[in-house]
Structure 1
């Protein structure tokens, strides 16, 4: 006999019957009626069934009407609590609290009531406008824990709330979610929150909270997400953090936490996201201790701490790992290995997409073979890892196309290989601070998705125009947003800048090279640019008037060149300009009088013997 569970020849009857049973259960119809329906479900015909439905629902509808009428007035206790909350808000640019009039609080903006009890169950007043144009300013009243006993959801994120989180919040025993992130809250995290045993989400990130993380938070066994990042929390991570075995996301990053990582972290069996980066944590990485621990961990950030010791070989047991960053610590030694250059543990990380081991004390000398064979790896960050010799050939045939590659601050020598231009999906390439001494390969023009190119501080030479010939993913529109070719040996004229499709460049640094010739008028086509540094080159002739059309410019550095002529009056249109340096050129004439140009200090114009006017000496003509 085949299984047909849940399938009926009369879905309009039996399917409706089960739906009705559920409705009846939710509406708290006496159990005797449920039992009656259960008894006759296999015997009744459709007419009898519908008669029974009508007999039951008609009085129930009447009861619903009576309940609605009864709810026209807010529960006095809830009314008091909401009124108290409103009194703590001194500015409401969203105008939502203007609806908080009368006594029917269940119809107020952001207030949601339980249909059965009529009590306030949710307070939702978040700000979705990332520009912060609409928000609440004020404090959370200390009485909140006494007047809203049925509150289950508290959402007030992205406002301008100040002051502490009241200790009384711990009396709201039915709370399931507290989302107070991106405010200006201060003080410590109330230990009383540890009493909220139904809590599943606690988000307090991006505030100004201080003090330690209360040990009481480890009582919250139903917690799925704990996010406290970007505060000023101090002290140790609670030793019993591993008791939160249902926790899926833990973010304590960007605080001032110190001490060692608790051993109990390995007990977080459901953890998927673990961010502890940008703290003062020290000691060794204590997890995973054994195979099978933390089986769901996919995203691990431990960068920017003071961690020491070796990278544990057991880290290869984290079979769900997708992105791992251990950068900027004090980890020592080489990549862990027990079976030669390809540890069996590391080879099991088939899901690993991103690996960042930058700026430790690894002294890798060369990239290990296993890294070039990882089936899913597409982001490799090995800055400052002690890699030596020619550009790593093993990267040429990686199973997964590389999207980001950072080999900066190493000891690479020789050429940038032509085959690197075959990485047509590469978005970010950073080879800065090495000793590479070739030209930029012509194949780079095929890297249509390249957005960040950083080759500064090498010994690269030849023309730079190949960079500005990179074809963007869309016609007449580039992809590059960040280009740094400074501190190299590039020479020749700048011909293609602004003439190609790269109109998306926002940061361009070509300083400390041997570039010569005229700065072309086509540079005005880089209309999105906010930082331009061409200093310490051999550029000549006048400053192009068209540069004044790049009104997004915030930084313009042209010092130590051979520019002649006057400063164009059109430069007064550069209203966003915050940093300007035209010093040590051959400029003459009156400095344009007006903001922002004449507001810059003398040092911005010094070394030009022919310049006069504010902020230099007055003109004599």
Structure 2
């Protein structure tokens, strides 16, 4: 279905917005406070030309409302919309895309009538200061694929979920982000989200989750999952076995087509354990395709595992703020795709292997606040162009932090680094 863009870009399309839908949008405007005049174009007969309104160029029905605050944050600006969402939205029976993110609704409830917008596929209410309980009526949105409720920070009047069963009825979901939403009273969250066969991205950051199950029910189906972010929860003490089961499913599907596993974010989930316990879970297909591994701030002990060097496609490794000790294994120097390496705030000792000079994609390397010693030279950092006029660097390191270490000898040429 083609879409008529707003404003003058609409051209001379013969399709014009429906009168009842134009009236519905005007009622919506009447309930909103718009101090910056973002809705000033909402006048005249053709609502398909109004800012933020998109219509089908075949039927003229309103299919998209893009009312996202254009500022990076609702704090400190006057571009936000506030006020009350009018039930006149129900007149937009063909509305498939609704974005109200980054506006200010001051702790108001998400309207229950939202569950009657049955054509919705995309719903973005992130950082819009809605509060109270996410209504179960959203479970009636049979076509919904992309719901986003996340908060960047914990709000003064947070959203909560008291029952997650409604989400499992939406088998069409491919993306779900409830970050900073309180899920502590939502029942078995994992039992519900694992019933979503098309789910590709799942972000449950800082949701006050207290555990991860060791196994999943037989009905679990996460074969489409590519991104899982469980940051800032207390989920210990071990990485659960079902992550390994997901990797087996991915490996099975890879026989039919390449299936990536780009991200595993477990930052600050408090695993009071030895890092070696992750070996079995990060095996098989995961070991071949993982791109981001974030285990920062988890009080992990032991040494940096040699097997991390087998994560062939790893681009970003975060092990900072743990209790890791021993040597940095030379095997990390075989991570040919690695761009970001964070090992700071541990108890690592010894010298840095010259194998790190092989990291042709390295951009940022942070090893500060350790107990390292030895010689650091251009062999380790051949991306840095200021060593000599005749030296041709092999890659593009931009930042290195070596502060608060116990470096014994640093060759004088390092003094030229800015």
Is the TM value for this pair above 0.5?
yes
User: What is the match of residue 387 of structure 1?
Assistant: 209
Query: Aligned in 2, Cα 1:305/1:398: closer, same or farther, shift over 3 Å?
Result: farther
The yes-or-no answer on 1:422 pairing with 2:245 is yes
- Do the aligned residues in 2 keep the contact of 1:509 with 1:534 (CA within 8 Å)? yes
User: What is the match of residue 283 of structure 2?
Assistant: 470
- Do the aligned residues in 1 keep the contact of 2:214 with 2:242 (CA within 8 Å)? no
Higher relative contact order (CA 8 A, sep 6+): 2
SS at match of 2:290: coil
From 228, 247, 250, the equivalent of 2:65 is 250
Displacement of 1:269 in angstroms is 0.9
Aligned-pair RMSD on alpha carbons? 4.0
The yes-or-no answer on 1:358 pairing with 2:179 is yes
User: What is the match of residue 593 of structure 1?
Assistant: 413
- Do the aligned residues in 2 keep the contact of 1:541 with 1:562 (CA within 8 Å)? yes
User: What is the match of residue 490 of structure 1?
Assistant: 301
Rounded to whole Å, the distance in 2 between the matches of 1:173 and 1:333 is 40
Structure 1: 5+ residue runs without aligned partners? 1-152, 156-164, 178-196, 198-209, 229-243, 428-447, 601-621
- Do the aligned residues in 2 keep the contact of 1:531 with 1:553 (CA within 8 Å)? yes
Query: Aligned in 2, Cα 1:517/1:415: closer, same or farther, shift over 3 Å?
Result: closer
Q: Counterparts in 2 of 1:255-334, with a 5 A limit? A: 255=70, 256-263=79-86, 264-282=88-106, 283-288=108-113, 293-328=116-151, 330-334=157-161
Displacement of 1:401 in angstroms is 1.7
Query: Aligned in 2, Cα 1:520/1:411: closer, same or farther, shift over 3 Å?
Result: closer
Question: Is 379-388 or 463-472 further displaced after alignment?
Answer: 463-472
Query: Aligned in 2, Cα 1:566/1:333: closer, same or farther, shift over 3 Å?
Result: closer
Rounded to whole Å, the distance in 1 between the matches of 2:304 and 2:281 is 13
Rounded to whole Å, the distance in 2 between the matches of 1:416 and 1:280 is 38
Q: Counterparts in 2 of 1:506-517, with a 5 A limit? A: 506-517=315-326
- Do the aligned residues in 2 keep the contact of 1:561 with 1:584 (CA within 8 Å)? yes
The yes-or-no answer on 1:450 pairing with 2:261 is yes
Question: TM-score, normalised to structure 1's length?
Answer: 0.49
Hey, which of these two has a bigger chunk of helix by percent?
A: 1
Displacement of 1:399 in angstroms is 4.1
SS at match of 2:356: helix
- Do the aligned residues in 1 keep the contact of 2:317 with 2:341 (CA within 8 Å)? yes
User: What is the match of residue 42 of structure 2?
Assistant: 216
SS at match of 1:422: helix
What is the total number of aligned residue pairs between the two structures? 353
- Do the aligned residues in 2 keep the contact of 1:450 with 1:479 (CA within 8 Å)? yes
User: What is the match of residue 440 of structure 1?
Assistant: none
- Do the aligned residues in 2 keep the contact of 1:372 with 1:397 (CA within 8 Å)? no
Rounded to whole Å, the distance in 2 between the matches of 1:463 and 1:394 is 21
